[in-house]
A and B are shown apart, each in its own frame.
Chain A
Amino acid sequence: MLRIACPYCGERDQVEFAYGGDASEGFPELADSDVGRWTKFVFVRENPRGVHGEYWHHQYGCRQWLRVVRDTVTHQVHSVAPARQGDRT
């Protein structure tokens, strides 16, 4: 069981959170008509074996979106911070 230290609620069990996926790709400008950039954003992933930046939603807690840096092999959580617009990992 992962333990995620929510900056608002403290350290909680993973079952309180919903996984929001890779946080490394930024949302393109809505007016952007380049198919390649949208394809990259919607479908293509770095998928690293190791350190991974990802979103988690504290669904059964404060309901805030968080940006977590976690290792995909050891599951060590390196950092947890509130997700802000324009953030990149």
Chain B
Amino acid sequence: MTRYSALSLIRNALAGNRGWPRAWRDAQPRAEYDVVIVGGGGHGLASAYYLAREHGVSKVAVLEKGYVGGGNTGRNTTIVRSNYMIDGNTRFYEWSMKLWEGLSRDLNFNVMFSQRGQLNLCHSKAQMDAAARRGNIMRLNGIDAELLSRHEVRRMAPILDFSDRARFPIHGALWQQRAGTARHDAVAWGYARAADRHGVDIIQQCEVTGLIRDQGRVVGVDTTRGPIRAGKVGLAVAGHTSELAAMAGLRLPIETHLLQAFVTEPVKPVLDVVVAFGAAHLYVSQSDHGGLVMGGDLDGYNSYEQRGDLPIVEETMAAVKSLLPLVSRLRILRQWSGVMDMTMDGSPIICKAPVDGLYINGGWCYGGFKATPASGWCFAHTIANDRAHDLSARFTMERFHRGHQLDEKGMGPIPGAH
């Protein structure tokens, strides 16, 4: 396996770039593994990587029904942040941020993590109070946060609508400097390559069709490429967790909903920070290529169709135009959507399932991408040690039964509202 470096870049450039080996092996499924991870997105690949590297589990396979990173890892708006407020979330997402900060070096793969900062805009005095409270709680947890005035926001992002005609005047913002964006495909590829280097088999075009049970315990999976025995099976298939869990007879506190994202034609640099609108559900950043990348609300009803409906297109465009009037002159270049596990409290699930041999990582709602490193870290720990990691100890399913939901927004058990 070639180690990527300036030297390897020069050497291959001089040789006409014909000498690059493939980034990871095209592994064929073996009959048996210690751990099988279902789902070859960022979370599954990260879990496999940390299982091999941190816990010394040697025989690990990642099964992917399509291609690596073809699901939600490649269908988000690439935002990374850790501006969480409630116990159970704060330290987990901050650990994720710390892993992000060293990720390119750790994986020997440039994930293009750009800590350009995120503005969470406030449009009323009440929102400024709420932002101050959130910022204070973040800082008490060792997370960077700064409350900015209207004037400071204007200096940072003058392209936003600061006119007298603005539908939602900007009062200020909560700023997280260490937030930013990363290249989503590179995250999947980087983890895949690094996991492969640690001996993990990455098996694409291999769909799980059932679970093999022995006296109640899950001891393997049936796949489109034959049965594979496994000491432990981990699910990292957010969007389809309910379907896979149903194979073990489990019903989860999850609904599957669809979320769309959009990118405009590329323009000159106009916005060098990530912006979250506070008056409607909207987040926008400008990619290195120049396109404005944005996302909004869920389509609003249960859906497994990765396509998206028109009312949300209109709603998102109306919101972005009220914030960034210049977009009315731009064309939308691409639109895509992903299906996501919306849990009943808006927080994820990382736990040992009530069925022996099965482990669940899912329920990522809107926030799966930024959580990728910590999710893999904690899921690997849970699988290897048969108990929750300290940082993900609250991400259980029992929390719903005990009334200890992690409801960051205080919305109640309405999955579409988180």
Residues of A within 8 A of B (CB): 1-2, 14-15, 19, 21-22, 35-36, 39, 42-49, 52, 54, 70, 72-75
Contact B344–A42 (Cβ < 8 Å): yes
In the complex formed, the residue of B with least CB distance to A41 is B413
Known: A21-B255, A72-B302; 10 extra A-B contacts, CB below 8 A, are: A1-B309, A14-B309, A21-B416, A42-B344, A44-B400, A45-B251, A47-B302, A49-B240, A54-B302, A73-B304
Separation of A81 and B92 alpha carbons in the complex (Å): 45
Contact of A49 among B304, B309, B401 (CB under 8 A): B304
With contacts A21-B414, A43-B253, A45-B251 taken as known, whether A15 is within 8 angstroms of B303 at the C-beta atoms is: no
6 nearest A-B pairs in the assembled complex, by CB-CB distance: A47-B242, A43-B253, A43-B400, A43-B344, A19-B301, A49-B304
Contact of A45 among B255, B300, B309 (CB under 8 A): B255
Contact B256–A49 (Cβ < 8 Å): yes
Contact B253–A1 (Cβ < 8 Å): no
Q: Which of B254, B301, B414 has the most CB of A within 10 A?
A: B301
Contact A47–B309 (Cβ < 8 Å): no
Contact B311–A15 (Cβ < 8 Å): yes
Give every chain A residue within 8 A of B14 (Cβ-Cβ).
Answer: none
Contact B304–A72 (Cβ < 8 Å): yes
Q: Which of A14, A54, A72 has the most CB of B within 10 A?
A: A72
In the complex formed, the residue of A with least CB distance to B314 is A15
Contact A52–B302 (Cβ < 8 Å): yes
A-contacting residues, B239-280, CB 8 Å: 240, 242-243, 251-256
With contacts A72-B302, A75-B305 taken as known, whether A45 is within 8 angstroms of B253 at the C-beta atoms is: yes
Give every chain B residue within 8 A of A14 (Cβ-Cβ).
Answer: 309, 311
Residues of B within 8 A of A (CB): 240, 242-243, 251-256, 300-305, 309-311, 344, 400-401, 413-414, 416
Contact B300–A19 (Cβ < 8 Å): yes
Separation of A57 and B300 alpha carbons in the complex (Å): 13
A contact face: mostly helix, strand, loop, or mixed: mixed
Contact A54–B301 (Cβ < 8 Å): yes
Separation of A75 and B258 alpha carbons in the complex (Å): 12
CB distance from A88 to the nearest CB of B (A): 16
Mind listing 20 A-B residue pairs with CB under 8 Å?
A2-B309, A14-B311, A15-B311, A21-B414, A35-B401, A39-B401, A43-B253, A43-B400, A43-B413, A44-B251, A45-B242, A47-B256, A49-B240, A49-B243, A52-B302, A54-B301, A70-B301, A72-B303, A72-B304, A73-B305
With contacts A19-B300, A39-B401, A49-B304 taken as known, whether A44 is within 8 angstroms of B309 at the C-beta atoms is: no
Contact A1–B310 (Cβ < 8 Å): yes
Contact of A72 among B300, B305, B310, B311 (CB under 8 A): B305
In the complex formed, the residue of B with least CB distance to A74 is B305
Separation of A45 and B415 alpha carbons in the complex (Å): 11
Give every chain B residue within 8 A of A70 (Cβ-Cβ).
Answer: 301
Give every chain B residue within 8 A of A1 (Cβ-Cβ).
Answer: 309-311
Separation of A19 and B401 alpha carbons in the complex (Å): 25
Give every chain B residue within 8 A of A73 (Cβ-Cβ).
Answer: 303-305
CB distance from B223 to the nearest CB of A (A): 18
Give every chain A residue within 8 A of B305 (Cβ-Cβ).
Answer: 72-75
Give every chain B residue within 8 A of A72 (Cβ-Cβ).
Answer: 256, 302-305
Give every chain B residue within 8 A of A15 (Cβ-Cβ).
Answer: 311
Contact A46–B416 (Cβ < 8 Å): no
Contact A19–B400 (Cβ < 8 Å): no
With contacts A1-B311, A39-B400 taken as known, whether A45 is within 8 angstroms of B252 at the C-beta atoms is: yes
Give every chain A residue within 8 A of B311 (Cβ-Cβ).
Answer: 1, 14-15
Separation of A54 and B256 alpha carbons in the complex (Å): 13
Separation of A86 and B42 alpha carbons in the complex (Å): 44
In the complex formed, the residue of A with least CB distance to B301 is A19
In the complex formed, the residue of A with least CB distance to B405 is A43
CB distance from B364 to the nearest CB of A (A): 15
Give every chain A residue within 8 A of B301 (Cβ-Cβ).
Answer: 2, 19, 54, 70
